[in-house]
Structure 1
Amino acid sequence: MANNETKTRLLETLAGQNRGLLSTPAQRDLILEQVAQLERRNPTRNATRATSLLEGNWRLLYTTSSELLSSDRLPLVQLGQVYQCIRTRSGQVFNIAELKASPLPGGLISVVARFEVTNNQRLTVGFERFVVGLRTLLGYQDPSQWIEELGRDRRFLGLDLRLKSGDRQGWIDVTYLDENLRIVRGNEGSVFVLSKN
């Protein structure tokens, strides 16, 4: 089966899954099987060195991460869009989760990390900053604008924690990468499927 057909089947299966929040066990099994099929056909063997493909704002389509999916189970809070934005020149990763909190204003959870290339597939990640607050008070508009604001190194209203280098580290393996789809597996066993915006 060609890459495009395998990729199309995966994307069709992911439609309506709400990033995994609505997936049944049978659907999760099917998705993971389709992910594995696509990983075996990875067109980018040296994914961590393919900076032009890695660079950009990636929107989460699906995950098995219970930590991320559990944020949708908070009272009055719904998980909105989730992004992982990679900036290869600065070696930074920005994880951004938009929260909807009707009737309250929406919130934001943001994590800033540095990454280093470990090998052709693995990025080692060291977390540096954690920002949580209401989008209006933070001045959040979209991922690109938010990353610029974070780069100004100012303090934000809400919870704004600087983490000591090495306090929290992890890694991700980039197991599939093309011009608009990326699959990664994290050190805690989670799978993430993302599309480039």
Structure 2
Amino acid sequence: MASKLLHPQIPTSHVLPSSTPKNVKTQKPLSTNHNIHTNLRSNFAIKVAEHSSTSEDHLTITQLKTDINNTLQGMNRGIFGMPSEKKTEIEEMVKVLESLNPNPYPTIDLDKLGGCWKLIYSTITILGSKRTKLGLRDFITLGDFLQVIDVAKGKAVNMIMFNVRGLNLFSGKLIIEASFKISSKSRVDIRYNTSTIVPDQLMNMFRKNYDVLLGIFNPDGWLEITYVDETLRIGRDDKGNIFVLERSKETNP
């Protein structure tokens, strides 16, 4: 709270005489026009500073997105692990992006979250015995990870694509449906509903270890949306995982 300055009264004996001594030039009061020009210059300087800051943030965000994509080249979204120095580099860039989040309260306007997104990085990994059990070392490879968010229905559908090499090459997908509800201005609670694998041939391949597969991608819990704009979304879940997704142009994944 601003405090008022109290000026002590000046004794009458110390008041200067009303006449102005010779050789002393009186200072003209500042004109109203001068004050207006000063205020205009100040406002202009503030606006320029604000504009420069916004432009700088935009350039930083654009560069960070490019750097993340470049660093992820050949890393298969990190799903099978990656060198620790690259992991650290990516996650440092993620932190900077989060600090520049243009939509800090994303659940207030859920339309920004709706539509189809493609996973480009995650700290979820399939390593060692899990990878062997799922046959991901041999003839089954991972395709895109897509997420379709239906804001009106409060539903999210995750699709993990698989390609199977063999005499008859075919592809399929694991489909996980979940519902979500808002729990804060930046967080949603997620509840697993159902899951399936199509086609049946692929389900037969995974049936024995289906619980392992579902355990890796089960979305139950909460998700904090730490960054979202027109093309990129970052989230952190209750299990300590990070997810970076780009908006996808897929219309019928």
Q: Give TM class, smaller chain.
A: 0.7 to 0.9
Q: Which has the higher contact order (CA 8 A, sep 6+)?
A: 1
**2:173 and 2:90 mapped to 1: Cα distance?**
28
Q: Is the 8 A contact 1:81 1:98 kept in 2?
A: yes
Report the residue type matching 1:114 in the other structure: S
Distance 1:55 1:135 in 2: 30
Distance 1:80 1:13 in 2: 19
Q: TM-score, normalised by structure 1?
A: 0.77
Contact 1:19/1:61 (8 A) holds in 2: yes
Point out the structure with the larger helix share. 2
Q: What fraction of aligned residue pairs are identical, expressed as a percent?
A: 29
The normalised TM-score by structure 2 is 0.61
Checking the alignment, whether the CA contact within 8 Å between 1:105 and 1:136 is kept in structure 2 is: no
Moved more, 101-110 or 53-62: 101-110
Task: Pick the aligned partner of 1:81 from 137, 144, 149.
Answer: 144
Query: Residue 108 of structure 1 contacts residue 135 of structure 1 at CA under 8 Å; is this kept in 2?
Result: no
Q: Name 1:165's counterpart in structure 2.
A: none
Q: Return 5+ residue gaps in structure 1 as ranges.
A: 139-157, 160-167
Amino acid corresponding to residue 129 of structure 1 in structure 2:
T
Structure with greater strand share of residues: 1
User: What do residues 96-128 of structure 1 show as CA deviations (whole Å, max 9, x unaligned)?
Assistant: 000011015222111000000111111100111
Show structure 2 runs of 5+ residues with no match: 1-56, 208-218, 249-253
Aligned-residue offset at 1:180? 0.8
Runs of 4+ in 1 over 6 A off after TM superposition: 135-138
2:122 is matched with which residue?
63
Cα distance change of structure 1 residues 34 and 45 upon mapping to structure 2, 3 Å threshold:
same
Deviation at 1:49?
2.4
Cα deviation per residue 1:24-75 (whole Å; 9 max; x = unaligned)? 1111111111111111111111112222210010001111112599467354
Residues 135, 195 of structure 1: alpha-carbon distance in 2 compared, 3 angstrom cutoff: farther
CA RMSD, 1 decimal: 2.9
Which residue matches 1:155?
none
Opposite residue 116 of structure 1, the aligned amino acid is: K
| Structure-2 residue corresponding to 1:152 | none
Alignment equivalent of 1:132, drawn from 197, 213, 224: 197
Equivalenced residue count is 173
Larger radius of gyration: 2
**1:135: how far off?**
7.8
